[in-house]
Copies of this chain bind each other. A is one copy, B any other.
Amino acid sequence: MTNGAIKALADQVRNGDRGALARAITLLESDAADQVLERQALLEAVLPQPETGIRYGITGIPGSGKSTLIDALGLQLIGLGHRVAVLAVDPSSTRSGGSILGDKTRMNRLAVHDAAFVRPSPTGGALGGVARRTREAMVLCEAAGYDRVLIETVGVGQNELAVERMTDLNILLMLTGAGDELQGIKRGIMESADVVVLNKCDGENRRACERTRGDLQHALQLLPARANGRRPEVLLCSAMEGTGIAELADHLERSIAQDRSNGAFAERRQAQWSDWLDGAIADALSTEFARDARILQAKEEYRAQVTKGHVSPARAAAELIALFRKGGAPPRE
């Protein structure tokens, strides 16, 4: 793409053109080395992003009703005058391929709404890659006028820990059940929650939810307070019946307003950028190292020596890096 074409695409994105937004996200999702400069130019053409955007992370194990909750919460936020983008960071849905469509189907009201944009985020490659792509897609969505971005993750593995560091507020979705409220969710995930939402609190489940709320509130008291000084509240809702959704949206928006006024919001945003920079450096270091032909050849020679026990891996690594630095960066096209 020429600089002019990138500029034109960025302008279309800024004008809220959905097709352009989708194309721009696809471009940023590429790992192709020869598109690095295009990706940077595109991203910078939409920076700095509008100050109005808010990023909500929504984490929950499979079956906790994330999609249904996002559908209901998204509509509620639209009702409050916002435009809503949904980015799904779900390793399993990407692997199976089919369930991306499944996600869209479950978010059946949001998926067809003019004020919403639903996009699964591919996970291919390293964890750092997922984080980078999600962050870049998020910035594009904000530039396109979606001022509430919902980032959905499953509460297993490491992904949601990265997501916690790219959102302004993190919602942990849980279910009540036979004693398993506190199981299956790792301590680290609980610690990164700003709000805990018990879903499916309808019908006969309502009373059990009330009990679980008490248990959870007790457990949350034992965790360190969040950086903004708050401890997560536990809210009940039924995404299916639509109960508790207005209260949840209200709680989220009030929390953000409070964080904005006491400086916690700005601090968290700064940490998000800082984290993004660190991730970008780690990504780029390993990428540049891996695509340097001289290094690759030398590495194979060292690998043979290391495998025979003739050279220690640490020495091989040190010498390869010296070679990497001595040569200087290869000329860029």
Contacts and interface: CB of A to CB of B under 8 A. Distances in A.
Interface string A288-330: 1100000000010011001111111111111011101111110
Interface in A164-200: none
A213 B226 CA distance: 44
Interface in A39-76: 39-40, 43-44, 47-49
A306 B273 contact: yes
A223 interface: no
A282 interface: yes
Contacts of A303: 273-274, 277
Interface string A17-46: 000000000000000000010011001100
A16 interface: no
A316 B281 CA distance: 8
B47 A313 contact: no
Indicate the size class of the contact surface on chain A.
Answer: 35 or more
Contacts of A282: 286
20 contacts: A36-B314, A40-B314, A43-B314, A44-B312, A47-B310, A47-B312, A48-B309, A273-B306, A274-B307, A277-B302, A277-B303, A279-B313, A280-B313, A280-B314, A280-B317, A281-B320, A283-B317, A285-B321, A288-B321, A321-B329
A277 B36 contact: no
A306 B48 CA distance: 9
A142 to B, nearest CB: 11
Contacts of A320: 281
B329 A322 contact: yes
Given A285-B321, A326-B329, A276 B48 contact: no
A303 B270 CA distance: 9
B329 A325 contact: yes
A48 B311 contact: no
Contacts of A321: 281, 284-285, 288, 329
